Chains A and B, each alone.
Chain A
Amino acid sequence: MSEILEFWGEWLPTLLDGLLVSLKVTAASLALGIPLGLVLALAVKAKSAPLRIAALIAVEIGRGTPALVLLQFTYFGLASTGLTLSSYAAAVAALAACTGAYTSEIIRAGLEAVPQGQSEAAIAIGFSRMDQLRYVVLPQGLRIAVPPLLGFSILIFQSTSLCYAIALPELMSQAYSVGSNTFRYMPILILAGLLFAAICIPATLLVSRLEHRLDRHTR
C-alpha cells in the first residue's frame, strides 16, 4: 500500500498539470458555449424563419454528433482544409460547439417554463420585446436553467478526457502517458479517477445546494 502511495506521490504533479489543462478547457468551453447556447435558444424561437431553421440545424448537428467526432473534426478535419488549430484551441472549439447545442435546449426549456402570464403582464405595462426578455423572461428562465446548466458543466468537465484523442495534455492523457511509461496503468488510472471525482462530487453537491437557494423567492 505504501508503495502505491509513493508511486502516486511521484506522479501526482504530472496529473495535476493535466487537471489544470482540463479545468482551463472546461472553463473556456463553457464561457464560449453557454452564451452561444443562449443565442441559439433565442434564435430557435425567432420570428424570422431562415434564422430559426439555421439555428435548429446547428443545434441538431451539435447534439447529434458525438463529442469525440467534433474533436477529431476540429483538430484533424479542419487541418486538411488549411485551418490548423492547436490541440487546445481545437478542444475548446469542439466542446464549446457541443456546449452551445446542448445548453440551447436547456435554456429554451427554462425560458418556456416562465408562465405566459409573465410576458402578458410585461406587454400590458408597455415593455418592448427586448425589455420583456431582459427584465422578465430571461431572469426567471435562466434561474430555472441554472441547475441543469451546472449539471451539464460537470459533464463537459468529464468530456475533456476525450481530448486525449487530439493529443491535449489533459488529465486523462497525462495518466495514459504515465501508464505507458511505467506499465502501471491500474494505480495511475485510479488516481486520475479520484481527481475527477474530487472535482465532480463537491460540484454536484454545490449544485443541489444552489438549486435550493434559487427557489427562495418563488416558494
Chain B
Amino acid sequence: MIQTPILKPGPRQDGPHPDHAAAGRPQPSAPVVRIENLVKRYGAYVALHEIGFELKSGEVVAIIGPSGSGKSTLLRCVNQLEQPDGGCITVAGQRFEGGKEHSRAALDTLRRTVGMVFQSFNLFPHMTILRNVSIAQERVAGRSRKDAEDRAMHLLARVGLADKAGQYPARCSGGQQQRIAIARALALDPQIMLFDEPTSALDPELGLEVLAVMRELAESGMTMIVVTHEMRFAENVSDRVVVMADGRVIEEGPSRELMRDPKTERTQRFLHAVRDR
C-alpha cells in the first residue's frame, strides 16, 4: 500500500483538519476518502483485517467479493454506522480513528458529507414520499419547509418519481422505493454516496431502473462507493474495482482491466463463479 503522508494526525481528532482548509470542496486530485489499516472485530471474529484504500473526488469504486467478505462492514464503517476498532478513516479532511469516541459535531458533519443507500431501502413507512426526502433537510440542515420540499420535488423528479410525492412508500415497487431512498440520501447534498448492495433485494428488471439512476449519478460526477453483485455495473460504470475476501482487499485496479484480466487466483475464481450463474 503506497501512501503519501499528506495527512498527519492533527492535534485534535475532531474539527476540520488544518491541512484541509477547503474541506467542503476537495481538490479533484486529493483523496476525499482515505482508509488506512482499518480493523473491525466482532468479539474474537475479525471482520476487517487492516483494510486500506483511497477514493478521489468524483471517483466511482465498486467493492465486490463473496458474501461474508466484509464489504458491507467496510462501507458501514465509512459513515460510522459501525465503529472500527483500529486504523483510521479520513473523509473530506476529517479524521476518524478507530477505537475512539467521536464528537457529536464531527459525526454530524460526517453524515452530511456522506449519503447512504441500503439494501432494504429503509424508507420511513409512516411518512409520505415527499416527507421522506424533505425531513432531514429541515431537521439536520435547518432549511425551511418550503425550501426542503422544493428541493425534495427536484430530487424526486431527478429519479423520475415526482408524481409519487404524496403517496406512502408501501404503495411503491421496490425499484421505486430504492430510487426514493437515493433521493433521500441526496437531499443533504452529500459529497460522497455509499451504496450497500442497492439492487440485491430487487427483481432484475427493477434493479435496472435503480442502476440507471446510479449511472446517471456517477456521470454527474458524484463520488461513490458501491458494494455490489452487479458485475456489469462494476465493469462499465465504476472507475475502479476493489475485490474483498475474508476481510481483506485481495485485489484492486481500474475496473475494465481487473474485470477482464484479474491477477489473483481468488478473484478469478470469484468472477468465474458469479458469471456462471
The residues of A with any CB-CB pair to B shorter than 8 Å are: 115, 117-118, 120-128, 131, 135-136, 139-140, 143, 217-219
B65 within 8 A of A: no
Any A CB within 8 A of the CB of B135:
yes
Report the minimum CB–CB distance from B128 to chain A (whole Å): 9
Task: Tell me the complex Cα distance, A126–B116, Å.
Answer: 11
List chain B residues, Cβ under 8 A from A120: 81, 118, 122
A125 touching B188 in the complex, CB below 8 Å, given contacts A120-B118, A135-B135, A218-B170: yes
Interchain CB contact under 8 A, A118 and B139: no
- Chain A, residue nearest B139 (CB): A131
Interface size on B, residues (CB 8 A): 27
- Select B140's contact among A125, A136, A143, A218, beta carbons within 8 Å: A125
Partner of B116, one of A124, A131, A219: A124
Q: At the interface, yes or no: B185 with Cβ under 8 Å from chain A?
A: yes
Report if B112 contacts A (CB, 8 A).
yes
Q: Which of A125, A128, A131, A136 makes the CB contact (< 8 A) with B184?
A: A125
Contact between B136 and A127, CB atoms less than 8 A apart = yes
Q: Which listed residue, A118, A122, A125, touches B185 by the CB 8 Å rule?
A: A125
Contact in complex: A117, B185 (CB < 8 Å): no
Interface residues of B (CB under 8 A from A): 79, 81, 104, 108, 111-112, 114-116, 118, 120, 122-126, 135-136, 139-140, 168, 170, 181, 184-185, 187-188
Distance (Å) between the CB of A78 and the closest chain B CB? 42
B168 touches A217 (CB 8 A): yes
Complex Cα gap A140–B247 (Å): 36
Give CA–CA (A136, B132) in the complex, Å. 10
Question: Given A117-B118, A123-B81, A125-B140, 4 more contacts at CB 8 Å?
Answer: A118-B124, A121-B184, A124-B81, A217-B170
Q: Which residues from A are CB-within-8-Å of B81?
A: 120, 123-124
Q: Contact at B185–A126, with CB atoms within 8 Å?
A: no
- Asked, given contacts A117-B118, A135-B135, A217-B170, whether A127 binds B124 with beta carbons under 8 Å apart, the answer is no
Q: B155 to nearest A CB, angstroms? A: 13
**What are the residues of chain B within 8 A of A135 when measuring CB–CB?**
124, 135, 139
